[in-house]
Structure 1
Amino acid sequence: MGVDTAPRVLEAPAKSTVVDDAAPAEAIAFEHDLSFADAVKLYPAAIGWSAFVSTGVIMLAFDPQLLGNLYATPQFQKDFGHEFQGAYTISAAWQTALGMGNPIGQVVGALLAGYPMDLFGRKYTFFACVGLTACLIFIQFFARSLVTLLVGELLGGLVLGCFVVIAPTYASEVCPMAIRGHLTSYVNLCFVMGQLLANGVTAGTSKLHNHWAYSLPFALQWFWCAIIIPGMFFVPESPWWLVRKGRLEDAEATLHRLASTKVNISATLAAIRETDRLERELETGSTYWDCFKGSNLRRTEISIGVYTTQVLSGIYLVNYGTYFFTLAGLDTDNAFYMGIGFLAVGFVGTIISWFEIVRFGRRRIYNTGLAVLMVLMFVIGVLDSIPGRPSGVQWAESALMLVWNFAYDLSVGPICFVIISEVSATRVRSKSIAVATAAQAIAGIVMTVAIPYLISPEQANLQGKLGYFFGGLALLCLAWAWFRLPETMGRTYEELDILFDRKVPARRFKSYYVEGVPGDER
């Protein structure tokens, strides 16, 4: 069924008699009128708990970055590698196998996370994942062979993969629309912090001449467990999950914990109930199969598309950043320092993106950033193709990778988590994010197999020519995003349900308005 563009108006379905008409209307008007500054003042607890739950993502990001850096650590190379041309190295085959642990774990862990999140809630699923992670770190810490380390990476990745589903789901369900983008994009900052900490730790331990050069970095993963475990008992449950379970009194009590006394909790609860009613009326469903039915198919496609674009545009090079810099011609110390700088600019980029989020739309930020990433990758490829590779090219390529990472964490990195949290229907949000995470991880598995062979001196030895490969993939992703990525900024979940149900084209999402929605003056 096509979209009637004249007049460009969407009529909301009739209200249910179960909830008072005035209460949801008041909450929706409040959401549209709420500024970022006021939201920060009225929802400090929601911001704090959302950031707390996102801490699990730091552990998720720390592990693969740590492993990628250890490939450039002399003691790790000596204890786990073999001699090649007078130096020790880890074979591409073993780099591939070890690198598989995290992405395979994300595929399985993400899909499995959807079930306990719906059955037991976000809080207790988070609780279980942190406890299991604390236990599985022992395998990595005591590993003295590649086989044992592989087992630890696979099992650890299985649990760590759940965090990337839990964090954006929880953030999107405890915060108002005015700060929804900031707290879901904070997930990307947690990725950067985990990677940055891994680089800092390995830079400090890389000069050790015993097993502590790699055992100490593995042990530091317990630090995050020690921070999270005491606070897990006090995490508020998602009010959206409680409403779907019919626990309205518990949902109201949770909303009181998350918001200031100045917020009309009854109206907020009524709006949540109304959105849930609308999705049941639209037959949104709540199973994995429902993610691929009706309007949910398009919503799942968008989630998968923006998430896999992260991999296809070149982000998996970050995990091999230090190794890439050593192959580019930098010595070990400079490579580690460059790796730290690489992620430091990413940290700054994500912070700056929070100012963009309140001024520009998700679509504009994402597409513009992706175009910049594509151009930078092609430039890196061209530089590496200069005959004779003149002196200074390795520093130029490394500097451009710094710029690339800044642009990524200014756009595609953080905005992805905002989009996947907003385009998914609330009844299948955890499962939709899980499917997108699994798809991204599958793409990650492909890159985990390919990258070691593409950059290894024993194999293709492409070095900076990888820019052509990732630049080409980014071009394809940009073409898809231009036609399929809608603007979701400033929309309540009920409005988004209606827009997707009416099959509004992606490029017209921003200008359409839902008739009768208070505060929507499009």
Structure 2
Amino acid sequence: MGNPEIMDKDVETNKDAAAMIATASLEDLDAEARVAADEEHGHSFFQAVKLYPTAVGWSLFFSLGVIMTAFDPQLIGQLYATPKFQRDFGYLYKGNWIISAPWQTGLSMGNPIGQVVGALFAAYPMEWYGRKLTFGACVIFTTGCVFIQFFARSLSVLLAGELLGGLVLGSYAVIAPAYASEVCPLALRGVLTSCTNICFVIGQLLANAVIAGTHKLDTHWAYSGAFCAQWFWPLVILIGLPFAPESPWWLQRKGRIEEAEKALKRLASPDVDVKPTLAMIIETDRLEREMESGSTYWDCFKKINLVRTEIAIGVYTIQVLSGIYLVGYATYFFELAGLPTDQAFNMGVGFLAIGFVGTCLSWVMLIYFGRRTIYNSGLALLAVLQFIIAILDCAPNYDSRPAIAWAQSVLMLIWNFIYDLSIGPVCFVLLCEVSATRVRGKTIALATAVQAVAGIVMTVCIPYMINADQANMRGKLGFFFGGLAAVCLLWSYFRVPELKGRTYQEVDIMFERGLKTKEFKDYVVTR
């Protein structure tokens, strides 16, 4: 396997790690690692669920933070169509109360700006203090930020709450997939890392459902009640977090081998021998050190990791470029398309409910189909649907033909279903699978930050493109996002490899050998 003297500094200073490596030869560790790899390849999805039930549970638990990440920006987007919020925070325009485009931009900017800063910052405490402590600190900070939003009675105070809250919300999208990818065996990895997407959908759906229930109120509770609902998830998380196991991959990198073994035992059923899995973790980490994979942000851009970083950034940014930021404006879009306010809110809830169903069905597809196939097929369909929506908007006498507005709304529902069936969940699977284990947190953070920068651009542009007092593009936005999706499809066809059924060690070897994108699927890894 290579030079046994190449050791991580943390491992060198840890007695447990030194003892283990001293008593186990490289050949023994390699043999154990091969046993673990063969076992993981041999497990079906349901066998893995039976063998690793607590890994499933804790992976889902750490994904709860993503619900908060999705709830907040979705809530703000829906408030723009809430009558009481419009009157308290907006101004009259042609007899209607609206929130001006500049303030919409400012309020909606908190989450994407926070994702940039929060994601990049989160990678450091995740590596210094572990996934568990970082998660807990972020949840406590979020709880405090909700107070600002809840008591806000002016746009400036609300903006401060959104910006501060956004700083920490961005960290959850880094912590959740990183933790899931490090506690789950191969057969569960695709489904459980994709749960990040369903938590986004749940957060968006809950925000829509809360506003659908409060938007008719004629007091500040029409919006304050929705902000108040955000305190539920921190309560649940802080109660359960002390009992959560730490990531065994992180513990191993810190040289805490005995604790890593205990964590693996907590994540598996009593019938599972975790020693081969521990050996595979040690061997994968050793291989990446020998490949000089590194563990800093700069290492993400070294030759050994550069392609992997590009793919991670690309698949995540495509979510924004293909039109996902329109989800936050769904109800507002339906209103502008001509639907009555109540129908627009109901359509907004249905919009995300269909997305929820799509994400659930994606789990079945991830078990039986490759990541590359699902991703590229879904992206192609999204581009086509956007173009159809845009073409319908060009129909003669659009304003006097409500059937067209309904047709566009239905197509938006289908678009969201396809998104959450394909590139939505598969993106998070690819993020975890394509990144080297030593820089996984930082690779996910970089991808999150770059897509958030793209999100900032969309947050600035969409209100001006969609507002009635600005460009008033309505469904013609489909030309813009459909065109971007087509360009993204061209990139993904040539750059996104097939990684289904591959252990992290196999992925490391294939990228080290510089395989072409189409060669990944059928390549036989030999050592």
TM-score where L is the length of structure 1: 0.96
Q: Are the counterparts in 2 of residues 185 and 414 from structure 1 also a CA contact under 8 Å?
A: yes
Paired position in structure 1 for 2:346:
337
Tell me the residue number matched to 1:283. 292
Residue by residue, what CA displacement relative to the aligned partner does 1:433-474 show, whole Å, maximum 9, x if unpaired? 000000010000000000000000110000000000000000
More helix as a share of residues: 2
The residue identity in structure 2 corresponding to 1:82 is Y
Amino acid corresponding to residue 139 of structure 1 in structure 2: I
Question: 1:140 matched to which residue of 2?
Answer: 149
1:195 has 2:204 as partner: yes
Q: How far off its partner does 1:15 sit?
A: 8.7
Q: Which residue of 1 aligns with 2:509?
A: 498
1:21 Cα deviation after fit? 3.0
Q: Matches of residues 91-490 of structure 1 in structure 2 within 5 Å?
A: 91-389=100-398, 390-490=401-501
| RCO comparison, higher one (Cα < 8 Å, 6+) | 1
Whole-angstrom CA distance in 1 between matches of 2:120 and 2:208 = 29
**Contact 2:291 2:304 survives alignment (8 Å):** no
* Residue 234 (structure 1) shift: 0.9
Deviation at 1:496, TM superposition (A): 0.3
Mapped partners of 2:336, 2:471: distance in 1 = 12
> Moved runs in structure 1, 4+ residues, more than 6 A?
none
* d(CA) in 2 for partners of 1:346, 1:20: 44
Q: Which amino acid aligns with 1:430?
A: G
Q: CA deviation at 1:22?
A: 2.1
In structure 2, C-alpha distance between the alignment counterparts of 1:513 and 1:128, rounded to whole Å: 43
Report the aligned-residue RMSD.
Answer: 0.9
Using the TM superposition, give the Cα deviation of residue 20 of structure 1 relative to its aligned residue in structure 2, in angstroms: 2.7
User: CA offsets per residue over residues 157-177 of structure 1, 9 Å max, x none?
Assistant: 000100000000000000000
**Structure 1 residues 384-393 or 50-59, which shifts more?**
384-393
Q: Give the CA deviation at 1:391.
A: 3.2
Matched, 1:81 2:94: no
Residue 323 (structure 1) shift: 0.5
- Residue 14 of structure 1 and its aligned partner are, at CA, apart by 5.2
The structural deviation recorded for 1:260 is 1.1
Q: Shift of the alpha carbon at 1:263?
A: 1.5
Q: Is the Cα–Cα contact under 8 Å of residues 15 and 21 in structure 1 kept in the other structure? A: no
Paired residue secondary structure (2:433): helix
Q: Between the two proteins, what is the percent identity of the paired residues?
A: 64
Give, in whole Å, the separation in 2 of the partners of 1:397 and 1:69: 19
Q: Alpha-carbon deviations, 1:393-422, whole Å to 9, x = none?
A: 100000000000000000000000000000
| CA displacement 1:217-262 (0-9 Å, x = unmatched) | 0000001111111001111100000000000000000000000122
Query: Residue 376 of structure 2: SS of its match in structure 1?
Result: helix
**Distance (Å, rounded) in 2 between the aligned partners of 1:44 and 1:391:** 50
In 1: Cα distance, 2:307 partner to 2:29 partner: 32
Cα distance, 1:484 vs structure 2: 0.3
Q: Which runs of 5+ in 2 are unaligned?
A: 5-24
SS of aligned partner of 1:395: helix
Q: Structure 1 CA distance, aligned partners of 2:29 and 2:337?
A: 65
Post-superposition Cα deviations, 1:60-104, rounded to whole Å, max 9, x if no partner, equal 000000000000000000000011111110000000010100000
Q: Distance in 1 between matches of 2:222 and 2:189?
A: 40
Does the CA-based 8 Å contact 2:2-2:290 persist in structure 1? Answer: no
TM-score (norm 2): 0.95
